[in-house]
């Protein structure tokens, strides 16, 4: 009797393991070959295959971290940089798209370059966004509205973090954006992290120094990578 794990279901359909991401199809097929040839026909070997697949997936995964402020010397970018540094330490390929560096006002040649380099190739997104007047910034909405939704965002997974000097950590803005992202057929991770009083959490190198925040960010990213 073959012990066939649910995460490697036999299927002829491409992207059959959609919940684990399109790249799992390769591992799906590899596992089925091993199972058919009765190689490693026990639960422990399947667990080993699964761990190897997760590791390879994380190495090959590309996450775009979006810093959603175009204000000069904004704090959001510092927090977004911390997320990218963390991904690097975890061995995950990532790119940082900071909206204070690029042109997103109209869908011109410069915008198409941004889309091609940061949006289309991303498997997952982490959006770090400041609280501006009780919501997320207009520049983020403008960037989204100027992009090709199907190629850039549709069916991709996204993690949200709010940043504010006030107490709310942009909870309301994350709620507002979640509605739009779900309308765009995105999958929003439920652990949306509000980072409030951000001006008290950074050290002289603009890195997060507060142990509680460091722990919360690490847990959030770990959950998102396994999501
Ligand atoms: C236009 C604007 C509106 C803001 N509105 C709020 C707000 O509603 N609540 C709040 O806690 N902070 C608000 N802030 C302060 C930001 O939370 C603060 O600047 C924080 O560092 C995140 O924004 P930053 O990335 O631009 O630095 C606002 C800042 C700006 C520039």
How far is ligand 1, taken at its centre, from the CA of residue 220, in Å? 23
Residue in the block written with tokens 């971290």 = 65
Residue in the block written with tokens 């073959």 = 2
179 touches ligand 1 (CB under 6 Å) = no
E strands of 110-220, at which residues?
A: 124-130, 157-163, 187-188, 193-195
131 touches ligand 1 (CB under 6 Å) = yes
198 touches ligand 1 (CB under 6 Å) = yes
Q: How far apart are the first and last CA of the chain?
A: 31
196 touches ligand 1 (CB under 6 Å) = no
Q: What is the pLDDT of residue 40?
A: 63
Q: What is the pLDDT of residue 75?
A: 97
> For residue 165, which atom of ligand 1 is closest to its CA?
17
161 touches ligand 1 (CB under 6 Å) = no
pLDDT in tens for each of the 227 residues of the chain? Answer: 333 333 333 333 433 333 444 455 566 677 677 767 666 667 777 777 777 777 666 667 999 999 999 999 999 999 999 999 999 999 999 999 999 999 999 999 999 999 999 999 999 999 999 999 999 999 999 999 999 999 999 999 999 999 999 999 999 999 999 999 999 999 999 999 999 999 999 999 999 999 999 999 999 999 999 99
How far is ligand 1, taken at its centre, from the CA of residue 132, in Å? 5
Number of H helices, E strands in the chain: 8, 6
What structural domains does the chain harbor?
6-58 (no CATH), 61-226 (3.40.50.360)
Q: What is the pLDDT of residue 61?
A: 93
Residues 6 or more apart in contact with residue 18 via CB below 8 angstroms: 155
The tokens of 77 are what? 């970018």
- Distance (Å) of CA 180 to CA 40, 102, 149, 188, 203: 45, 22, 11, 10, 34
Q: What is the pLDDT of residue 43?
A: 72
Q: What is the pLDDT of residue 44?
A: 73
Residues 6 or more apart in contact with residue 97 via CB below 8 angstroms: 64, 65, 66, 67, 114, 118, 119
Q: What is the pLDDT of residue 171?
A: 98
The tokens of 12 are what? 């002829």
- Distance (Å) of CA 178 to CA 77, 160, 185: 20, 9, 11
79 touches ligand 1 (CB under 6 Å) = no
């Amino acid at each position: 009797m073959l012990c066939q794990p649910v995460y490697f279901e036999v299927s002829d359909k491409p992207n059959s393991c959609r919940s684990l991401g399109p790249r799992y199809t390769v591992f799906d097929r590899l596992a089925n070959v091993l199972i058919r040839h009765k190689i490693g026909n026990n639960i422990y070997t399947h667990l080993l295959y699964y761990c190897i697949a997760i590791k390879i997936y994380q190495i090959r995964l590309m996450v775009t971290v979006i810093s959603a402020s175009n204000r000069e010397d904004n704090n959001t970018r510092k927090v977004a940089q911390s997320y990218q540094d963390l991904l690097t330490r975890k061995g995950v390929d990532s790119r940082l798209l900071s909206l204070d560096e690029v042109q997103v006002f109209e869908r011109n040649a410069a915008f198409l370059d941004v889309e091609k380099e940061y949006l289309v190739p991303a498997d997952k997104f982490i959006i770090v966004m400041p609280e501006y007047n009780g919501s997320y910034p207009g520049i983020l909405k403008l960037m989204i509205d100027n992009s090709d939704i199907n190629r850039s965002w549709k069916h991709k997974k996204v993690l949200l973090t709010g940043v504010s000097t006030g107490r709310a950590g942009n909870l309301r803005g994350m709620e507002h954006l979640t509605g739009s992202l779900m309308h765009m057929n995105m999958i929003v991770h439920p652990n949306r992290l509000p980072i409030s009083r951000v001006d008290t959490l950074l050290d002289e190198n603009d890195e997060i120094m507060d142990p509680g925040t460091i722990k919360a960010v690490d847990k959030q990213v770990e959950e998102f990578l396994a999501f």
